[in-house]
C-alpha cells in the first residue's frame, strides 16, 4: 500500500503480552513468546514499507519489579531468539543490523553476550537498523548523560545528546503503542519531542498488518510543523 509520507524512523512499545496470555488462558511465558514472534513480523512489515530505522522497547527498567520467575523467563526467550537461525537468516535476508542498548545493572551478562553475538553477526549492514532497548528508562538515560558530563563547566544540547545511553537512536518520527495505554512511560524522551503518537487498542500479539497499515495511513495524514 502506497502512502504520501511514511516515517523514516519508527519506534514501538509492544504492550499487552501478559494480558493477551491471560485472556487466552496461557502462561505469561507464552505471551512473551508470541510477542517476540510478532515483532519479527513487524520488522519485515517495516522493511517492505521502506522504514529503515526501527526502535523497540523490549524491557524497561521498571519491568525488573515484575515477578522474578517471569523476568528470568523473558530473558531466556530473548537469549533463545538471539541464537535462532531462522531469525538470523531473516536479518541477513533483509540486511538488517541489530543495535542493542542495554543497562548492565538490569540485564544478565549471559543475555548481553548472546545479543552482542547478533550485533556482530549483522554489523556489516548500514542502511537498515533495529534498535533494541533492554533495561531502559528515560530518566535513567538522562541521568546517564548528566553523570558523564558532570565535570564539564558548560555543555550544549548537541553535546548532551552525544552522551545519552540512547545516543545512537535518531529523532523518532512516529511511536506506536499497543494495548490501549495512552502514555509513553518515559520512552526515549530526548528523541520523541516531536514524535507523532499512535495508540492502538490491540494487545501486541493481536496486532496485525492491517493495524500497522492503519497507523501508517494516520501518519500520512498528519501535518508536522515542529513548533513552527
DSSP 110-153: HHHHHHHHHHHHTTT--SEEEEEEEEE-HHHHHHHHHHHHTT-S
Count Cα neighbours of 79 within 13 Å in the Cβ-side half-sphere: 14
Give the chain's domains with CATH numbers.
Answer: 9-221 (3.40.1180.10)
Query: Diameter of the chain by CA atoms?
Result: 57
Q: What SS3 class is residue 93? A: helix
| Dist. CA 15–CA 180, nearest whole Å | 9
Q: Which of the four pLDDT bands, split at 50, 70 and 90, describes residue 152?
A: confident
CB 159 within 8 A of CB 139: no
Catalytic: 65? Answer: no
Nine-digit cell string for 174? 512516529
Helix (H) or strand (E) holding 196: strand 196-199
Residue 228 has pLDDT above 80, yes or no: no
| Cα(205)–Cα(16) distance, integer angstroms | 8
What is the per-residue pLDDT for 75? 96
pTM over 0.75: yes
Helix, strand, or coil (residue 54): strand
Active site residue 15: yes
Angle, in degrees to the nearest 10, between helices 28-49 and 68-82: 40
Give CA–CA dist 14/57, Å, rounded: 7
Report the SS3 class of residue 15.
coil
Vertex 174 angle, CA 169 and 175, to 5°: 85
The pLDDT-based confidence of 225 (bands split at 50, 70, 90) is confident
Q: How far apart are CA 172 and CA 53, in angstroms?
A: 9
Indicate if the pLDDT at residue 37 is higher than 70.
Answer: yes
Q: What are phi and psi of 179, to 5 degrees?
A: 80, 5
Which of 30, 52, 62, 63 is labelled catalytic?
63
Cell 545528546 found at: 161
Across the range 25-33, mean pLDDT stands at 95
Amino acid at each position: 500500500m502506497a502512502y504520501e509520507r511514511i516515517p523514516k524512523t519508527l519506534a514501538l512499545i509492544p504492550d499487552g503480552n501478559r494480558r493477551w496470555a491471560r485472556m487466552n488462558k496461557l502462561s505469561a511465558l507464552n505471551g512473551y513468546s508470541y510477542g517476540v514472534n510478532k515483532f519479527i513480523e513487524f520488522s519485515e512489515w517495516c522493511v517492505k514499507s521502506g522504514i529503515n530505522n526501527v526502535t523497540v522497547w523490549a524491557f524497561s527498567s521498571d519491568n525488573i519489579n515484575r515477578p522474578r520467575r517471569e523476568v528470568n523467563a523473558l530473558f531466556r526467550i530473548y537469549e533463545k531468539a538471539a541464537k535462532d537461525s531462522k531469525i538470523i537468516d531473516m536479518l541477513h535476508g533483509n540486511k538488517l543490523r541489530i543495535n542493542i542498548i542495554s543497562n548492565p545493572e538490569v540485564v544478565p551478562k549471559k543475555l548481553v553476550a548472546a545479543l552482542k553475538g547478533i550485533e556482530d553477526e549483522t554489523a556489516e549492514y548500514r542502511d537498515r537498523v533495529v534498535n533494541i532497548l533492554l533495561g531502559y528508562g528515560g530518566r535513567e538515560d538522562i541521568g546517564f548523560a548528566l553523570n558523564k558530563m558532570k565535570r564539564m563547566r558548560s555543555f550544549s544540547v548537541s553535546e548532551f545528546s552525544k552522551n545519552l545511553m540512547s545516543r545512537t537512536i535518531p529523532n523518532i518520527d512516529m511511536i506506536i503503542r499497543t494495548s490501549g495505554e495512552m502514555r509513553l512511560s518515559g520512552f526515549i524522551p530526548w528523541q520523541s519531542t516531536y514524535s507523532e503518537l499512535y495508540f492502538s487498542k490491540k494487545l501486541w500479539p493481536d496486532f496485525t498488518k492491517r493495524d500497522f497499515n492503519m497507523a501508517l495511513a494516520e501518519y500520512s495524514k498528519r501535518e508536522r510543523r515542529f513548533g513552527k
